[in-house]
A and B are shown apart, each in its own frame.
Chain A
Amino acid sequence: NAGVTQTPKFRVLKTGQSMTLLCAQDMNHEYMYWYRQDPGMGLRLIHYSVGEGTTAKGEVPDGYNVSRLKKQNFLLGLESAAPSQTSVYFCATSRDRVDEQYFGPGTRLTVT
């Protein structure tokens, strides 16, 4: 089992460009999350999903959109990238809201 995978691992964008980050899981978990990690800030929740077809805003949703068309995939989109979105992005999954979260390896995004 691959667990939680993220594509791509690294990406460099120019300001204004768009991109989509893919999170895939083979754990059959209902809950999926997108976080960003910045030095000294810990992990901040961007968006999350409690099941196929659902999405909800987290702590820092501005500038991002998400979709959960299939249970196993959770996509994070940046429509018009800004330098402030330079960060490491982590996807995580869990069986329910109080269970352990399983994290992917992360995507390092640089916006110039």
Chain B
Amino acid sequence: AQSVTQLGSHVSVSEGALVLLRCNYSSSVPPYLFWYVQYPNQGLQLLLKYTTGATLVKGINGFEAEFKKSETSFHLTKPSAHMSDAAEYFCAVNGGYSTLTFGKGTMLLVSP
């Protein structure tokens, strides 16, 4: 089986502060891991993905995530939050199945 746990349904940061969104996964095989972002009234779009190789993955809009096998984690970070980063973020895992399993999402709120 595969599963994803996102810690915190809402995360609030100030503009310019570090963004850290947490994701832990469960998979019986080496996983493929994804972060997606959803802006209001839109579909999801890919931020970044980990397949194999380098464990630090860089994505769009300055986001990056690090795959840590020993901690079964794939946390998303951005050094400096921007107002435009306010959105809902979803972590997803593919652990050898035909489909992705998504986490429940974390809403990122950015205040001026």
Majority SS at the chain B contact face: loop
**A interface, size bucket:** 20 to 34
Are B46 and A100 in contact, CB atoms less than 8 angstroms apart? yes
Which B residues from 26 to 49 make CB contacts under 8 A with A? Answer: 32, 34, 41-46, 49
- We find that the number of chain B residues with CB closer than 8 angstroms to chain A is 21
Known contacts A42-B90, A42-B105, A98-B32: A106-B43 contact under CB 8 Å: yes
A97 & B43 in contact (Cβ 8 Å cutoff): no
Instruction: Say whether B94 contacts A41, CB under 8 Å.
Output: no
Chain B residues within an 8 Å CB radius of A105 = 42-43
Cβ–Cβ < 8 Å partners of A33 in chain B: 99
Which residue of the partner chain, among A31, A98, A103, contacts B43 with CB atoms under 8 Å? Answer: A103
- Asked if B98 CB lies within 8 Å of chain A CBs, one says yes
- A35 CB, min distance to chain B CBs, angstroms: 8
- The reply on A90 being an interface residue by CB < 8 A is yes
Please tell me if the beta carbons of A48 and B43 are within 8 angstroms of each other in the complex. no
| CB–CB B43/A90 < 8 A | yes
The 4 closest A-B pairs by CB, nearest first: A103-B43, A42-B104, A43-B102, A103-B44
Which residues of B line the A interface, CB within 8 A? 9, 32, 34, 41-46, 49, 51, 90, 94, 97-100, 102-105
Q: List 21 A-B contacts (CB under 8 A).
A: A4-B43, A31-B98, A40-B9, A41-B104, A42-B90, A42-B102, A42-B103, A42-B105, A44-B102, A45-B100, A58-B99, A90-B44, A92-B43, A97-B97, A97-B99, A100-B46, A101-B44, A101-B46, A103-B44, A104-B43, A106-B41
